[in-house]
Amino acid sequence: MTQEEMLTHVDHTLLVQTATWDDIKQILDDAMKYKVASACIPASYVKEAAEYVKGKLAICTVIGFPNGYATTASKVFMAKDAVNNGAKEVDMVINIGWLKDKKYDELESEIKAVKEAVGNLVLKVIIETCLLTDEEKIKMCEIVTKAGADYIKTSTGFSTAGATFDDVKLFSKHVGKNVKIKAAGGIASLDDAYKFLELGADRLGTSRIVKLVKGQEATGY
């Protein structure tokens, strides 16, 4: 896989609380230059960002982020609002407490409701793997598949750890054929990016990969 091909799998991400519009514009400019899959940014910037890129880049945002314990109704509202503002992809966080309580029907219903709000656009479901047992991760592969989401995603990047190779391997074994995998959180090197894709990830949520590529260009490597 070439570097250019790898970049087409990147969701170039900026979700820190201090992000300004100037910071977001830099993310958007770099995302368009390097032809990544999307720019993943806070919901408050989606409308402005969509107008700025003029259809040249998919805008992604997050809902129920980063803790996942907002009500289903509020997640549905946030998803609809994001789509109305121009988002083409939505990454939602599950209610982790529900998973611990084995409220599997509620989890599936919530994902279905958000997917209905998103419609034909892309829905990724963040399950925050660092807080789960392997059994819980496998159960979420089943629930995400049954609920009709487009992706299962490892992490928010705001908890105790991010994506691991083992989690992507586990997802690859247990997720349905129609569900893709997004690895996110802590992807810090180009070698790691390639490895995650080799193991079965289709998307990489990262703030660092484009910066590393820019650094290569600056140094002539």
Active site residues: 91, 153, 182
Give the integer Cα–Cα distance in Å for 85 and 178: 27
Give the integer Cα–Cα distance in Å for 83 and 77: 10
Give the integer Cα–Cα distance in Å for 94 and 110: 8
Q: Going by C-beta distance under 8 Å and a sequence separation of 6 or more, which residues neighbour residue 16?
A: none
138 phi and psi angles, rounded to 5 deg: -65, -40
- Give me 42's structure tokens: 């806070």
Q: C-alpha 165: how far from its chain's center? A: 16
Candidates 54, 8, 52, 60; CA nearest to 34 is 8
